[in-house]
A = this chain, B = another copy of it.
Amino acid sequence: MPKELPLVAMDACCAPLTRDPLTADQAVELSRLFKAMADPVRLRLLSMIASHAGGEACVCDLTGAFELSAPTISHHLKVLRESGLITGERRGTWVYYRVHPEVLARLSAVLVSDVGATA
């Protein structure tokens, strides 16, 4: 029963970085997502979940890949969850995580260099 948290107001955010400067608020919002990805373990977890067959991965599929305690993995999953990058669902004994692809896509769009841009 992982608590789903903010699912950050990725609203109007944002034009590509190369087009317009971010407002202070947009920057805070975006930095929350980048912070969530600013750790090697979390990046691997994210990629393991995102690339897993069926679009979801059980925590039990994840912990084995690291030489870290279960609580530490759980902590990292919580950070990813609270950032809005993933969701978790309990089914019986196990908890399954999947990514929020829109959030990833939005981030990708912010970083894209808009060479052939509208202007």
Distance from A82 Cβ to chain B, minimum over Cβ atoms (Å): 15
B40 touches A17 (CB 8 A): no
Bound CA span A112–B101, Å? 9
List of B residues within 8 angstroms of A99 by Cβ: 18
Q: Which of A39-97 contact B (CB under 8 A)?
A: 39-44, 46-48, 50-51, 65
Bound CA span A99–B18, Å? 9
Q: Can you name the residue of chain B whose Cβ is closest to the Cβ of A44?
A: B27
List of B residues within 8 angstroms of A110 by Cβ: 108
B51 touches A19 (CB 8 A): yes
* A51 touching B17 in the complex, CB below 8 Å, given contacts A27-B40, A31-B38, A38-B38: yes
Q: How large is the interface on A (under 10, 10 to 19, 20 to 34, 35 or more residues)?
A: 35 or more
A51 touches B111 (CB 8 A): no
Task: Give me the 4 closest cross-chain CB pairs, A-B, nearest first.
Answer: A108-B111, A27-B40, A38-B38, A35-B38
List of B residues within 8 angstroms of A42 by Cβ: 31
Known interface pairs A18-B101, A21-B48; 10 further A-B residue pairs with C-beta atoms within 8 A, sorted by A's residue number: A19-B51, A20-B47, A21-B51, A22-B44, A24-B40, A24-B44, A28-B40, A31-B40, A105-B111, A108-B110
